[in-house]
Every structure is written in structure tokens, then in C-alpha cells.
Structure 1
């Protein structure tokens, strides 16, 4: 009888251990709340929708804004344009509750926003650009499209830097540091700095 009781107890214990082992951390983890101003919707819901529409870009920004940092979103609309979503990555608040952050970029609120991406064009005076851009579009159309989208997320302007070895597609924009003075996830002050980065390179 004691042997049977021990066997049953051992079986119950094994089932309990198996049940605990099968429970992953994700089972207990609640979705992180996303601060900001998304109108009538929750910013967490907006972020999830954008993650479905633009998975690579959202994943990139989430990697940039990991550890003790936090994302915030703001839905906005400029005159005669569809709604867009601005992304901020906030550092951990300091003692007085203030915190600094970095503007990551913008995305269209809906994936079929045909006005979001601005095509790369050459100025009338840039003869070198006018010469190589048709070749670039013909030989590397996907590279150009990705560069145009990437620069659109920075609300920037595209231009070419041409050498004998490569054609560098560059995006000029304002890299903006921001401050939140009351912990609401919205920008109270900002400091834009003009920069340019490479958004695509074609080897000649």
C-alpha cells in the first residue's frame, strides 16, 4: 500500500513539474504599455497594426529602443496629408522625472498611403545625378525603393554622392533630441540637428 501511495505521489509531482516547465515567461508577461497620443485609439494597438504593415521597420526601432528605454507614439496630420505616426525613444527618467529621448522617425498610419514616399529626383543643375539615376533605377530598382522608404521615415531629402567605385544614396534630415518634462511620453522641448546618412550603396 505504501509503495502504491508513493508511486501515485511521484506521478502527481512529476505532472506538476512538467506543467511548470511548460509555462514560458511569455505566459506571464503582459504587453508593455506604450505611451503617447494616438487619438481615440490605444498606442499599443496602433503599434501592433504598424508592426503588421511594416514589420522590418518596427523591429529595427524596437531594437534601438530596448533595455531600460521606452517607445512612445504620436499620431499627427499635416495640412493636406494623411495621418502619420511619429516614434520617440525615451531614456529612463532621472530623479526629478524629466527624461531625454531621440526621435526615431515616422510611418504612415495606413499602409496604402501613396503620398508617404517621395521619389528620388535630380535637380536641374545636377547633371551627374541626371546621368546615373536612370542607370541606378534600371540596375537596382529594389535598392532605390528601399532608400526612398527609409528616407521617408526620416522626413528627409534624397541625393546622390557619386564616385568611380560606387553610387551612394544619401538622406539629409534633422536628427532630433527631445525632452519630456512631465512623464507623459510627449515632447516638451526639442533640439534638431541637420545630418545626412547613407540609405543605400550601389557598387559600380
Structure 2
């Protein structure tokens, strides 16, 4: 990827495939360039809500190409406010569990060539989110995703994003987030650091 004359290594640019195998480490043949911030068992699958594309296209008056946010899955009806940490879904043959919101980086702005995009994603909390894989399986491009279990309905992905980015002094709510068994290791560490400063 080239941004403002500089070459940068990134795996954000993905191609649609008809079928892929999803293991506990992620989709086969799906590379990760920066393993410090991407990938791993808690972040094996990334989803970005389809509805946000039209929002950003209208705001920035620019067409965005799919998948514009490095996601593995783009789907409707699963915005951050409607999906909760710990939600378990069936995706074709696989079973996946929501672990955290995505913590966006500047690569999103660079890939889409919109300087302000990263800031707007943080402001809105429209980050997309990650899953861990509970059961591996084959996934087709036409697969449906179905909610199997919801263990709590207080801490949505959007609520987590609000606490992380905008309400990081909210001790009671951060403590509540930390009690969620499904929460990723990365977000546990982030919220523990926030708690230590409150």
C-alpha cells in the first residue's frame, strides 16, 4: 500500500472468495501483517457492518470498495449497538464468539484514502468487532450468521467502545466489562490499565 508517497506493509486489502476454512487461528490463507495489533485466537475473525459503508460514503462523498476495513465478514443487521460481548453465533459450519470491538488504526484511513476516517470511526464507535472461534469449519460466501446464545445484554460492542474511547474514567462500568468471561485478553489489559488510573 502507498500512502502520501510512502510504502507501507499491510494485509488490509482482501479479496472475496467463494469458500474458506475457518480454524481457531483464523481463515486459512488470510495473512496478518502486524501481529501485535491483529490476529491471534481472540481476534480470529473480523466483522464490519454493511450499513456503515453508506454512512461513510455519504459523509465523505466517496465510494468505498469492499472490504474497506480489513474485515473477513461484511453483513447486515449486526451493528455494534446490537451485538454484545460474549454473543455466540453459528457461521456456516463454524461457531464463533464476540470478544471485543476493533481498535482502529491509521491503516483504515490510508487504505480508503480518507484522512478523517479514523477519527470519525473512533468518535462514533463504528469500529467493527472480533470473534474467537469455538468450533472450526468451512465457510462459504453465501453463509448465514445466526445468533445461538447471548450471555448478557448490558455491554454491547458499542458500549465497550464508548468506555474505551470516551468514558475511560467510568470505574463502575469498566469493572463490569472486566467481569465478562468472553472479553479478549487485549481488552482486559486495556481496561485494567484504565482502571488503575481512575
TM-score range, shorter chain: under 0.3
Please identify which structure carries the higher helix content. 1
TM-score by length of 1: 0.23
Larger CA Rg, structure 1 vs 2: 1
TM-score by length of 2: 0.23
Q: Which has the higher contact order (CA 8 A, sep 6+)?
A: 2
